[in-house]
Chain A
Amino acid sequence: MLETLMLSRIQFAANISFHILFPTITIALSWFLVYFKIRFDQTQHPVWMRAYRFWVKIFALTFAIGVVTGITMSFQFGTNWPGFMEKVGNIAGPLLGYEVLTAFFLEASFLGIMLFGIKRVPPKIHTLSTIIVAIGTSLSAFWILALNSWMQTPTGFEMRDGVAFPVDWLDIIFNPSFPYRLSHMLIASGLTAAFLIAGVSAYRLLKGDDKRAPKLTLKISLTVAMLLTPLQAFVGDLHGLNTLEHQPQKIAAMEGVWHTEKSAPLLLFAIVDEEKRTNHFELGLPGIASLILTHDINGEIKGLNEFEGNHPPVAPVFYAFRIMIGIGVLMLLISWLAGIKLWRQKTLSPWLLKAIVAMTFSGWIATLAGWYVTEIGRQPWLVTGVLTVKEAATDIAAGNVAFSLALYLIIYVIVMAAYLHTLFTMAKRAIEIEDFDAEPTAATNTQELHHV
């Protein structure tokens, strides 16, 4: 029988992993919608409205799942991690509070107008509502990443009788890792949405959709991906340097460096052996890890042995980091390959379209892998140097947590299956009908128009 602590950890990881998938899409998808809507307002060309309408439905679906799966979190802080609020609640509380106050209500209220109000408000107000929803989703990322970054690199507080008290809120919000983590996550969201749009658009083209909208959205999303992939590599590098400064043990785990070494290799592959504290079957580029992290091929990287007993489990961090990087490289290659072809030849060969379809959810995998690197990499700390995960755990019965965890997992499987199935059903439906000329006509599939 697993104990309460482990079950609570798995449950929180399951809750937050599942939840993050949906905001990761909506944060950036909302800005794509803003772009489609503004282009429609400017040109009055129906193709922009078609693109908007198709993607706003997917946005609505994704957003709803994000909202309802997120509610669980606000309950779990108290039930499963009471020590968290006891010790750092004075800091975490207001940051969460500002997220609800400034972001949740904003996005939820204007979402109604954005989704269903297009005929009830003037076009300008509708576009404005779309912009406000986008701002709301980004603000929500701002606050939650401020809190997460503070937990990684806490500043601006003092400890009195074992409890953290805020001293300087600007220091707390703009803590050392925050700018990097926020930009890294926002770009990740941009890439996730770009590849989702590209993947579904490519799917429609492959299935014989010869309308303009999917071609247009494919081109736009690939262009965005072409711009964001190198930018993400650059920001990710900065983020890594920042982590090296503040959480060197995380970097050591990511790079699989056990002994402090100069001219450390960049390991492309290795089997991590935590028991013997070494790696097997290493395949690496000599000196490159040192070069990347210290900008000196002979630079020194501190090994895990210097942090013995106080560093994260190495294997998950090491492998997750490689998954993230691997997908990042794939994204870069495919977006540039397909993007250049599309700009030059106006069309893509089926194998390239299939490759893009295969990449539809690549953003999800990379984002999750990245979060596992940073979150597992923070262990054993919950708040670095202030509170360990163990100290924050609850005392409720393990059976209760096991039950709730099982129930969540069942629900998640159902929701995910329904989501994926529905996404492609909607794509197929869009192939068959042209849903917007000027005004919907009686000839169009009426069921399609009954969207609630």
Chain B
Amino acid sequence: MFEQTTLAVVFVGLMGLSVLLYAILDGYDLGVGMLLPLKNDSECDSMIASIGPFWDANETWLVMAVGLLLIAFPLAHSIVFKALYLPTLLLLISLIMRGIAFDFRVKAPFSHKPTWNLMFKLGSLLAALSQGYMLGMYIMGFEQSVAAVLFSLLSALGVTAAYCLIGAAWLVMKTEHTLQRKAINWTKKSLIGCFIGVVAVSFINPLVNPDVFKTWLSNDNAWLILPLPILCFALFVIGFRKIKQLSELTHDDHCWQPFVITVAIFTLCFSGLAISFFPYIVPGQLTIWQAVAAPEALNFILWGAIIVIPTIIGYTIFSYRVFWGKVTELTYY
């Protein structure tokens, strides 16, 4: 049996892991959705085929993250999502539209397919924008001001660019020929957008949150965490170089590199945010130790989690191996 204080850290760690996995996994399939070239039906098919077997499980990480927040920090769940009621609504509606468009686009009468493709694209875009907006509001401590809204809008664009980036990088890895060329181009553009977003958030965050400023700049241990942004910057530079190389290369051996670099950038940015706010679960209002649920409940779920989460990761890897390599036409047969 663990103590409540330990449990709070364990569960915030599990939740962090789920959020990061969600951002990476659903991030790429939202990105692919946003990038759909509506005029080119066969490219739409290939792109959606590349995410077909995975999007459902990817989205489950969102349920997991929100569920862990609900289970382990119920008070924080209530504060956060009450403050974000309308953006959350937008997110949910867009996820619904997108999820059903995925299936309807090939099962409804064929004449409706362009409409469902559009719905898939719009749903993906709105989901990304609303997640970015929610992240922005979270960073601003749910402040109701013009500045907070502007910052959140900036964050919405940043997250959207980040999802486009990981989606494009996924496509570079999973597709061939013309579509791959296009994807390389998308990767380049979204890498720029994402870079601007990361820089903007990194500068504004410590300026508006005194605690964050203290953590990063006036803390004795700041040198321990400062390599993080430097490494992130380096990854962007490497990313730009790799993408330039890829557009000139004739062989395909390095197609996985943009995706891996993007995953590393996501992980570093996420760690940066996590470090900024720890131990707060609601910035400036509530720490994990104030919000944590009873140890009886958390111990019961933790034992299950210790057994089940590695299993989940195991069969997730199995599923990715089954669909390894370049995308082929997706059929039920």
**A residues neighboring B (CB under 8 Å):** 53, 56-57, 60-61, 63-65, 67-72, 74-75, 77-79, 82, 85-86, 89-91, 93-94, 96-98, 100-102, 104-106, 108-113, 115-121, 163, 165-166, 169, 394, 396, 400, 403-404, 407-408, 411, 415, 418, 421-422, 425-426, 436, 440, 447, 449-452
By CB atoms of chain B within 10 A, which of A163, A400, A404 has the most?
Answer: A404
> Would B86 and A71 count as touching, CB distance under 8 A?
no
* Extra contacts besides A64-B102, A86-B74, A451-B332 (13): CB < 8 Å: A72-B92, A72-B96, A78-B80, A79-B78, A79-B85, A100-B64, A100-B67, A109-B315, A110-B315, A113-B319, A120-B322, A452-B49, A452-B52
Distance, CA A101 to CA B316, complexed state (A): 13
> Would B332 and A166 count as touching, CB distance under 8 A?
no
By CB atoms of chain B within 10 A, which of A90, A102, A421 has the most?
Answer: A90
Q: Give 25 pairs: A residue, B residue, CB < 8 Å, sorted on A.
A: A56-B332, A57-B107, A57-B332, A68-B99, A86-B74, A93-B70, A94-B297, A94-B300, A101-B304, A105-B60, A105-B312, A105-B315, A112-B56, A112-B319, A112-B322, A113-B319, A115-B332, A116-B330, A163-B294, A166-B294, A415-B100, A422-B104, A425-B108, A449-B333, A450-B45
> Would A165 and B331 count as touching, CB distance under 8 A?
no
> Would A78 and B78 count as touching, CB distance under 8 A?
yes
Within the complex, the shortest CB–CB distance from B43 to chain A, in Å, comes to 13
Q: From residue 288 to 328 of chain B, which have CB atoms closer than 8 A to chain A?
A: 293-294, 296-298, 300-301, 304-305, 308-309, 312, 315-316, 319, 322-323
> Would B99 and A65 count as touching, CB distance under 8 A?
yes
Q: From residue 80 to 117 of chain B, which have CB atoms closer than 8 A to chain A?
A: 80-82, 85-86, 88-89, 92-93, 95-100, 102-110
> Would B110 and A421 count as touching, CB distance under 8 A?
no
> Would A452 and B330 count as touching, CB distance under 8 A?
yes
In the complex, which residues of chain B have a beta carbon less than 8 angstroms from the beta carbon of A97?
A: 67-68, 71, 301, 304-305
Interface of B is mostly: helix
Q: B53 an interface residue at 8 Å Cβ cutoff?
A: yes
Distance, CA A113 to CA B316, complexed state (A): 11
Given A100-B63, A121-B322, A452-B48, residue A112 in contact with residue B70 (CB < 8 A): no
Given A108-B56, A109-B316, A452-B52, residue A396 in contact with residue B107 (CB < 8 A): no
Q: Looking at the complex, which one of B52, B62, B82, B107 makes contact with A78 (CB distance below 8 Å)?
A: B82
Given A93-B297, A116-B52, A450-B331, residue A411 in contact with residue B96 (CB < 8 A): yes
> Would B53 and A116 count as touching, CB distance under 8 A?
yes
Within the complex, the shortest CB–CB distance from B46 to chain A, in Å, comes to 10
In the complex, which residues of chain B have a beta carbon less than 8 angstroms from the beta carbon of A440?
A: 331, 333
Interface size on B, residues (CB 8 A): 70
Distance, CA A71 to CA B92, complexed state (A): 7
Q: Which 10 A-B pairs have the closest CB atoms?
A: A112-B53, A68-B99, A93-B71, A85-B74, A78-B77, A90-B297, A108-B57, A82-B78, A94-B301, A108-B56
**B residues neighboring A (CB under 8 Å):** 45, 48-49, 52-54, 56-57, 59-60, 62-64, 66-72, 74-75, 77-78, 80-82, 85-86, 88-89, 92-93, 95-100, 102-110, 293-294, 296-298, 300-301, 304-305, 308-309, 312, 315-316, 319, 322-323, 329-333
Distance, CA A120 to CA B49, complexed state (A): 14
By CB atoms of chain B within 10 A, which of A97, A98, A104 has the most?
Answer: A97
Number of A-B contacts (CB under 8 A): 236
> Would B104 and A418 count as touching, CB distance under 8 A?
yes
Within the complex, the shortest CB–CB distance from A59 to chain B, in Å, comes to 10
Q: Looking at the complex, which one of B75, B96, B329 makes contact with A415 (CB distance below 8 Å)?
A: B96
> Would A64 and B100 count as touching, CB distance under 8 A?
yes
Q: Looking at the complex, which one of A57, A96, A115, A404 makes contact with B89 (CB distance below 8 Å)?
A: A404
> Would A110 and B319 count as touching, CB distance under 8 A?
yes
With CB as the reference atom, state the residue of chain B lying closest to A115: B332
> Would B329 and A450 count as touching, CB distance under 8 A?
yes
Given A65-B100, A447-B110, residue A98 in contact with residue B304 (CB < 8 A): yes
Given A86-B74, A101-B308, residue A407 in contact with residue B319 (CB < 8 A): no
> Would B96 and A426 count as touching, CB distance under 8 A?
no
Within the complex, the shortest CB–CB distance from B187 to chain A, in Å, comes to 23
> Would B95 and A451 count as touching, CB distance under 8 A?
no
